[in-house]
Chain A
Amino acid sequence: MNRSKFLLYGFVALILAWLMIPVLIILPMSFSGARFLAFPPPSWSLRWYESYLGSAAWMQATRVSLTVAVCSAFISTIFGTAAAYALNLTQSRLVRSLQALLLLPLIVPIVITAVGIFLVYAQVGLLASMTGLILANVMLGLPYVVTSVLVGLRKFDHTQEMVSRSLGMNRWRTFFAVTLPQIRPSVISGMLFAFISAIDETVVALFISGGENQTLTKKMFTALRDEIDPTIASISSLLTTVSFILLMLAALNARNTERSQGRAT
């Protein structure tokens, strides 16, 4: 029995290594001094970071991506939380069936979504615009927020809202004073997810972003199709660092959830 357990653990350790290595390998590559991607790098340098930070085009793309991610995460958190709140409370069957609609962006293959948005934007003149990019990412972020907030609301005891309102607070104030503080961790994790999905989004941006308003991922994708430029390694390392920090934030956030639940029970 111990031998089979040993084999199982060994197998799992190998899989985990296989999962982690591609993510970690980028870091040493980005400090390489060579033009070609040899491992281990023949010499070390910061030249690929310099070539990223010193390039006006890369910086512009980074600004676009960050602006889009911040704005769209913010808006989809508001829209998604409102929708999840309504879905959780409603008794009506019809409204419940709308939940599947809110998850649709996760189900539709991303290329089809991209083509669809391209069609709409071509009609209304939103192609290659900031507004267009933000709106598209609001849509793509909604399912994450709705899912996460719904899970949070399931654990929330709705009678607390009724108590607050019977004590004379209106609905709006009740939500902010009673409900939101208790579901905050799930709202935050939904927002983090929406943010990371917007930062990483590539395919829709390939279709609808352009000119001044090209996202970082679109620029990376086009660069990768042409040649393997080590500048991408430095950008990738920075993006991975951002993911890592967000994951840590999410983990801290989850721990706070457990603590606050521990207090409640």
Chain B
Amino acid sequence: MAQSIRNPAELHERREQRLMMILLAPALLVITVLLVLPLLWLAWQSIRQDGGFTLAHYERFLTDSVYWVTFLQTFRIAVTVTLMTVILGYPVAYVAAGLPQRWSILVLAMVLLPFWTSVLVRAYAWLILLQRNGIINSVLTGSGLIDEPLRLVNNEFGTVMATIHILLPFMVLPLYATMKKIPGELTMAGASLGGSPLHVFLRVFLPLSLPGMIAGMVLVFVLTLGFYITPELLGGGRTYMVSMLVSRNIEVYNEWGAASSISVVLMVCVFLVFRLASLLIPFERIMGTR
């Protein structure tokens, strides 16, 4: 105390730090109480049974096929969705970044409107479009292209279709932001040095846009791993994803041990994806805070 009075700079520094902590406190408190502590509790719960230590909840991953089949299906869907959002999102971002301002805003608005629309509403829209007597089937049968309505929903196809639709903006937006920063002079220089447009694109533009692509892929992949609404509404009970396994174990079977161990494994998967990605690009870049 006496020393800090002698040293006003240090006193100021300390007061400053205390103020910053006070400003951070409400936000941190909310997140700690409602998210961090429950996660720790779930982790604890996953290794406990009848008041003792157990690995029984994790053993089920080896013995009960429902577990690993669900995880495999979830990962397969996540890979499909991620690849499809790259294939569909890259051209959109590329065109938007190359267009004059006025037009690129229009393209972005068309990406953003679905982005701002409720996930539930979009899942419902796909249900209307894809169901047996839905719009796509009635157009197809009406035009004589097919005789029997196609089975488009209540399966993995419908789930994947809606999930891609919902997550595409998460790919387009970081890609667009990265492409916007690529100086046009670079591709011009490439072309003036005799590179064909395709060659310039592959050797100059594509590598420079990779960070945005990785950011988008990580977001899409991780979000798909935790998706709940689309498989629940469009999967028809056949497309079983990890989130549904968690909620079923609680709502139907009241099996907290099982739900906890699945949650822990899912969280570990998510963190691993982020960890791997952060070897390539910084975390802040993925989350768009830088």
- A156 close to B (CB within 8 Å): no
Residue of B nearest to A78 (CB): B26
- Bound-state Cα–Cα, A161 to B118, Å: 39
By a CB distance below 8 angstroms, the chain B residues around A228 are 127-128, 131
* Cα–Cα, bound, A112→B289 (Å): 24
> Which residues does chain A contribute within 8 Å of B133, judged by CB atoms?
36-38
Q: Does A56 contact B (CB under 8 A)?
A: no
The interface bits of chain A over 1-45 (1 if a CB of B lies within 8 angstroms of the residue's CB, else 0) are 100100011011001101111110110010000001111000000
A113 at the A/B interface (Cβ < 8 Å)? yes
State whether B113 touches A112 (Cβ < 8 A): no
A-to-B contact residues, CB < 8 Å: 1, 4, 8-9, 11-12, 15-16, 18-23, 25-26, 29, 36-39, 78-80, 82-83, 85-87, 89-90, 92, 95, 98-120, 135-136, 138-139, 142, 146-147, 150-151, 171, 196, 199-200, 202-203, 207, 217, 220-221, 224-225, 228, 232-233, 236, 239-240, 243-244, 246-247, 251
Contact among B114, B242, B243 for A19, CB-based, below 8 A: B114
> What are the residues of chain A within 8 A of B94 when measuring CB–CB?
8
Complexed CA–CA distance, A224 and B263 (Å): 26
Q: Are B109 and A247 in contact (CB under 8 A)?
A: yes
Minimum CB distance partner of A132 in chain B:
B34
A192 to B226, CA, bound (A): 24
Instruction: Specify the main secondary structure of chain B where it touches its partner.
Output: helix
B210 interface residue (CB < 8 Å to A)? no
> Could you tell me which B residues sit within 8 Å of A by CB distance?
17, 19-21, 23-24, 26-28, 30-39, 41-42, 88, 91-92, 94-95, 107, 109-114, 116-129, 131, 133-135, 138, 165, 168, 197, 222, 225-226, 228-229, 232-233, 242-243, 246-247, 250, 259, 263, 266-267, 270, 274, 283-284, 287-289
> Which residue of A83, A135, A225 contacts B28 across the interface (Cβ within 8 Å)?
A83
| B289 and A107 contact, CB distance less than 8 A | no
Q: Are B92 and A120 in contact, with the CB atoms below 8 A?
A: no
Q: Is there an interface contact between B247 and A111, defined as CB atoms closer than 8 Å?
A: yes
A142–B30 CB distance below 8 A: yes
Instruction: Among A25, A37, A102, A221, point to the contact of B31 (Cβ < 8 A).
Output: A102
Q: A224-B123, A247-B112 are in contact. List 13 more A-B contacts (CB 8 A).
A: A19-B111, A23-B122, A25-B129, A25-B135, A37-B131, A85-B23, A109-B266, A111-B226, A111-B246, A120-B33, A138-B30, A147-B289, A224-B120
